[in-house]
C-alpha cells in the first residue's frame, strides 16, 4: 500500500501543472514566407543574434535554443523570434525527426527538474504546432539539471541552463 502511495505521489509531482494553456507566441499563424523573413542570425560561434539579449545557443543543426525564466515553462515574448526560426527550420527538414531537450538549472529536486524539463519541451512543441508545424516527427526528452552548458554560480550561467535545445535525430 505504501509503495502505491509513493508511486502516485511521484507521478503527481511529475505531471502537475501539465494542463497549462498552449503558449501563444505570435497571435496568428504565419506562412513559410513570413517565417523565413524573420529568422535569427547564426554566427561563427553557433550563437544567435535575435534581439532578445540572449546570444548563447546550445542547439545544433541550425536551431536556436529557447530559454525560460526561473521556475517557468511559458514561452516569453523575447523568445518568439527563436520559436519562429525553429518552426521554419523544422518545416525545412521535412520528415526528419527533431528532438526537443528540456533542461533546468540546478535549483530544485531531480524529480521536480525532470518534470519541469518536460513541461518546457512540451511548451516548445505546442508553440511549434501553433506556427503550423506538423509535430508528429517531434520527440521530447528531459535532462532536468543533468546537462548544464554552464557551471558557474552566476545568474547568467543559471539562465543558460534553463532551456530547450533542438536537434535532428541521427
Domain boundaries in the chain?
A: 2-168
Helices 110-130 and 2-15 meet at what angle, rounded to 10? 40
pLDDT of 27:
32
Res 161 pLDDT > 90:
yes
pLDDT of residue 130 exceeding 70, the answer is yes
Q: How far apart are the first and last CA of the chain?
A: 43
Mean pLDDT along residues 110-133? 98
Superfamily of segment(s) 2-168: OmpA-like domain (3.30.1330.60)
- Give me 135's grid cell: 509535430
Q: Does the pLDDT of residue 124 top 80, yes or no?
A: yes
Confidence of residue 170 (pLDDT cuts 50, 70, 90): confident
User: What is the arithmetic mean of pLDDT over 113-138?
Assistant: 97
Q: What is the pLDDT of residue 26?
A: 35
Helices H, strands E: what count in the chain?
A: 5, 6
Q: Which of 2-16, 94-108, 124-138 has the lowest mean pLDDT?
A: 2-16
Exposure class string for 6-30: b at 16+ Cβ within 10 A, else e = eeeeeeeebeeeeeeeebebbeeeb
**What confidence category does residue 53 fall into, taking pLDDT thresholds of 50, 70 and 90?**
low
Provide the pLDDT confidence category of residue 35 given band limits of 50, 70 and 90.
very low
Question: What does the pLDDT read at residue 56?
Answer: 78
Amino acid at each position: 500500500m505504501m509503495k502505491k502511495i509513493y508511486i502516485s505521489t511521484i507521478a503527481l509531482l511529475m505531471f502537475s501543472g501539465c494542463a497549462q494553456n498552449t503558449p501563444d507566441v505570435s497571435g496568428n499563424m504565419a506562412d513559410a514566407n513570413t517565417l523565413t523573413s524573420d529568422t535569427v542570425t547564426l554566427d561563427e560561434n553557433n550563437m544567435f543574434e535575435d534581439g532578445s539579449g540572449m546570444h548563447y545557443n546550445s542547439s545544433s543543426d541550425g536551431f536556436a535554443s529557447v530559454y525560460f525564466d526561473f521556475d517557468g515553462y511559458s514561452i516569453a515574448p523575447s523568445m518568439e523570434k527563436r520559436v519562429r526560426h525553429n518552426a521554419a527550420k523544422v518545416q525545412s527538414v521535412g520528415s526528419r525527426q527533431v528532438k526537443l531537450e528540456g533542461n533546468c538549472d540546478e535549483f530544485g529536486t531531480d524529480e521536480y527538474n525532470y518534470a519541469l524539463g518536460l513541461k518546457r519541451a512540451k511548451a516548445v512543441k505546442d508553440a511549434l504546432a501553433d506556427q503550423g508545424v506538423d509535430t508528429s516527427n517531434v520527440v521530447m526528452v528531459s535532462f532536468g539539471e543533468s546537462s548544464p552548458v554552464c557551471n558557474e554560480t552566476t545568474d547568467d550561467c543559471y539562465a543558460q541552463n534553463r532551456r530547450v535545445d533542438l536537434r535532428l535525430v541521427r
